[in-house]
A = this chain, B = another copy of it.
Amino acid sequence: MGISEVAAIEQLNAEFYGAFEDGDLDRMAQVWADDKDADGGVVCVHPGGPMIRGRGAVLRSWALIMANTSYIQFVLTDVLTRISGDIAVLTCAENIITASDEDGAGFAAGGHVATTNVFIRTNDGWRMWLHHGSPVMLRGDVE
């Protein structure tokens, strides 16, 4: 594992959040792997949501979230990347500034999200295979 490969993963990770911030579904679609590259299809868990499997359903979820997000910005902290074989696992904390439409639905998050992002190596380079974000609601807790 070279440092350059970690840098490539973190650049793709930044592109994932950049696509979301810009509300650019085409860029988001480029980030995600095809289902054929991913056993069982790509996987996405939005904060508070169920596990969504398959590229079609995942991209539809992003279209809906982007349509209901007028402004969102991410500052990532505590980023750690581990690569083995054709899988890279990146964990981080998302610190979010957001504004949603009044009628916005389907996205329950704000403030702080704990995230696991998994990338796979494809013929077209690294692509996102799994995004799992979960709301951080507890304080003064188990740590």
Contacts and interface: CB of A to CB of B under 8 A. Distances in A.
Contacts of A112: 50
Contacts of A57: 143
Contacts of A87: 82, 84-85, 87, 89
B106 A141 contact: yes
Contacts of A136: 48-50
A36 B125 CA distance: 29
A43 B86 contact: no
Contact of A141 (B43, B78, B105, B116): B105
A27 interface: no
A25 to B, nearest CB: 14
